[in-house]
Structure 1
């Protein structure tokens, strides 16, 4: 951990690592979301139907849920420098595949594989936690998350123009291919300019790669319960592709997917048992324990805030267009204000968390999120447009600040498991998006917003079970000695 001052516009030491990490995250999101802004051009060029376009959008997020968990494990084991660089380089390949696709099947395979790059976010969470002390960690993670997340908005603003500059029917191919080139080049930039820890610091690794470690018997069962929604979300995506949904897959294939998911869950139960079976016979010393309920609460909160953000960004242009009879361009600009807030809101959530405490900040922001979505549910055509935009932006502030505050807590639970905890929490955000978008397909806009508000209130209640991170967490060095890592000013 370095003790240099937090100078936002410095590009040396820990600030260099922070800036290069948010740039890596920015690029992963630019690549991940490079399809939506060029959707009409792709549709015309490949002769795709509306249902096939919807399928590509679903496939784009399908792999991200398990990928975030897997990437979190690999990050803890091999370090963020190697894993981030490898992800950026390897995912350039399906990006190029999509740019060169000639038909729906090729495009579908490429978009499915590109879901993996959406897992990049969790790598930087571990990297930033290694370089910043606890009293700056929320701010640093907020900048990483907020500025990196803006990659999706940057794709929306720039790629259509780049496609026009290249011109012709294949302009979209050059625009998407360019994002792949940027990803490939930055893989080498990142690898050659960062290290996993400051000089002299220890990079703590988990004892096992197969599953997350827990430190008590009740936590063992809670972990298994918290794994279930991730499998349920993947089953829900399969159902969306079934004859009952958009009819891309046959019912037989869908049943095979269900059976495969059940088998994978049972395999995961076995892996969790293998890694943690000792806790049933020998209690873990109190010094080395952590409470998995902390992770479970953060999962539920991220399900609501990031899950709702992904879902709302997808539907907000249409909501404004239909509610206020706006043309699509104006509706898109108005809705874009929601995503634009990320630049300030995530860092603000982390900063508030650093200054005023982790739990109290989350309680305040989650309550604001619930109130914001409740007001969104009341918006109709009788409202002045400016007031609806103000409500949407205020709601967006609480949503994205809440995301920043969640990831201000993630690195303070158990250092060597930070990647896995970030991976699971991040995956819950995608589970939330799948859930809320599915709800939207059955209900009107008002009910959709009320459902999110209700979910936020559930998260608010679970927060009372979370403990404020205090004192120190213990990690064991390779030589067997114990290092105590501060997680708060108080040693209580």
Structure 2
């Protein structure tokens, strides 16, 4: 049975085992592409102290600078990629990005000094823009009653790549040495980079072949699908720039996803230095932080959808404000833990709420400016990278310890959560959302009635 609204032709249900519909094929391929991009983006992090740093003779300052460069370039990339989605569509945008990612991740293995290594890390940072395409594409494919959980699940499962790479890349690097693909212990990271690169090329082909820009077709082949600039209106990007709610969400996303990026880049090192753990053990523990993406971000988006049923668009914002406030408190707890067991427990608690806050953020994004969806998604997504750069710069320049930095960041998150009260929707927007919600509920009720009769 079709699960699409006849008016929107967007999926009103998420059936994970359905690969026949373009909506669910897009769902699965978008999170898989996102996963691989994040895997490649953070592939250097767990190997930095043990192999890459010594092999390249990097100082501590250079290691942090490389992280800042890799995360910082994504700010520009996310702004660009959101606008690109509005122009050429998410299918082409993702395919091109995956091919580019494969080239630069593999190419990083050729770095021979600090300058070439820095350039390679900057190039790799571009693939962090994959998040924007994922959110754009699922928003195009899923109806408002499930768009929150659809966006959150694809983003959450994609974010897993940043955690899984913490545990897997050390194993891949060791395997390269064991099978003779590396000359020494210090150089084993170089051939390891070809593994995620090769898989990216495979997924690029699958994305091009099995997805399309919208349920109706591709931007280039079907008229009326591509967002157009109307006479008398500002451009798509500028209309998003002028909306203050976009910048509040920009700051909020910096307070949640920005911290996830920062922790992904520093978690393994944190456990190695503070608790004197080896590379593999520290990587396994750090991977637990990303593992919560299996369900935490989805839960945040799902609860955003639930809050909207009784509280409308304002209900989505209320949930976002609550979960972000708790995230800040959880981070402060984590920063105060000196015993390994308590540190792991509070890290997982923080991970749950930081990822639920990300899901809650992108349950609000689709309703800010539907004409400029790509621009809004890009700007808000860039906020996460700006946050990560700020955190890394603070660590580099303040002289504060990592645990004290976590405490300061937790206090900042609590303060930023209060900005959520500034996100308001017009009466017309609320009424339109309520009307659409009722239409979707009626449509779902009709589907259930037909299914019951068929049974």
Structure 2 length normalisation: TM-score?
0.80
Instruction: Tell which deviates more after alignment, 98-107 or 295-304.
Output: 98-107
Is the Cα contact below 8 Å between 1:32 and 1:117 reproduced in 2? yes
**8 A contact 1:68–1:427 mirrored in 2:** yes
SS at match of 2:237: coil
Q: Deviations over 1:364-400 (max 9, x none)?
A: 20121122123234x243xx54333222211111111
RMSD: 2.9
Aligned to 1:425: 380
C-alpha change, 1:18 and 1:471, in structure 2 (3 Å) is farther
The match for 1:74 is: 84
What is the rounded CA distance, in whole Å, between the counterparts of 1:356 and 1:473 in structure 2? 13
Distance 1:146 1:195 in 2: 22
CA distance in 2, matches of 1:132, 1:48: 46
1:318/1:469 Cα in 2 relative to 1: closer, same or farther (>3 Å)?
farther
Deviation of 1:26 (Å)? 1.0
* 1:242-286 deviation per Cα after TM superposition (whole angstroms, max 9, x unaligned): xxxxxxxxxxxxxxxxxxxxxxxxxxxxxxxxxxxxxxxxxxxxx
Aligned to 2:424: 467
- Counterpart of 1:212 in 2: which secondary structure? helix
Contact 1:472 1:488 in 2 (8 A): no
Q: Are 1:36 and 2:45 an aligned pair?
A: yes
1:207 aligned residue: 229
Does residue 421 of structure 2 align to residue 455 of structure 1?
Answer: no
Question: Using the alignment, how far apart are the partners of 1:446 and 1:113 within structure 2?
Answer: 30
Equivalent residue number for residue 191 of structure 2: 174
Matched, 1:412 2:360: no
Match of 2:443? none
Range that drifts further, 307-316 or 138-147: 307-316
Q: Residues 408-463 of structure 1: CA distance to partner in whole angstroms, max 9, x if unpaired?
A: 11112222311111111111111111112222332234542332222222222211
Q: Is 1:9 aligned to residue 17 of structure 2?
A: yes
Moved more, 416-425 or 454-463: 454-463
1:307 corresponds to 2:258: yes
Partner of 1:194: 211
3-state SS of 1:135 partner:
coil
Q: CA contact under 8 A between 2:81 and 2:378: conserved in structure 1?
A: yes
Cα shift readout 1:123-147 (whole Å, capped 9, x = no counterpart): 1111100110101011111111110
2: CA distance, partners of 1:293 / 1:79: 26
CA-to-aligned-CA distance 1:203-250 (integer Å, 9 cap, x gap):
3414299772328xxxx7xx4xxxxxxxxxxxxxxxxxxxxxxxxxxx
- 1:132 to 1:470, Cα distance in 2 relative to 1, 3 A: farther
In structure 2, stretches of 5+ residues that fail to align are: 1-8, 309-315, 440-455
C-alpha displacement of 1:46: 4.3
Corresponding residue number in structure 1 for 2:452: none
- Alpha-carbon deviations, 1:311-355, whole Å to 9, x = none? 233333444455555555444433332222112111110111111
Deviation (angstroms), 1:310: 1.7
**Residues 279-322 of structure 1: CA deviation (Å, up to 9, x unaligned):** xxxxxxxxxxxxx2321221111010111222233333444455
Structure 1 residue aligned with 2:451: none
Alignment partners' CA distance in 1, 2:119 and 2:107: 9
Name 1:241's counterpart in structure 2: none
Corresponding residue SS for 1:159 = helix
Equivalent position of 1:355 in the other structure = 306
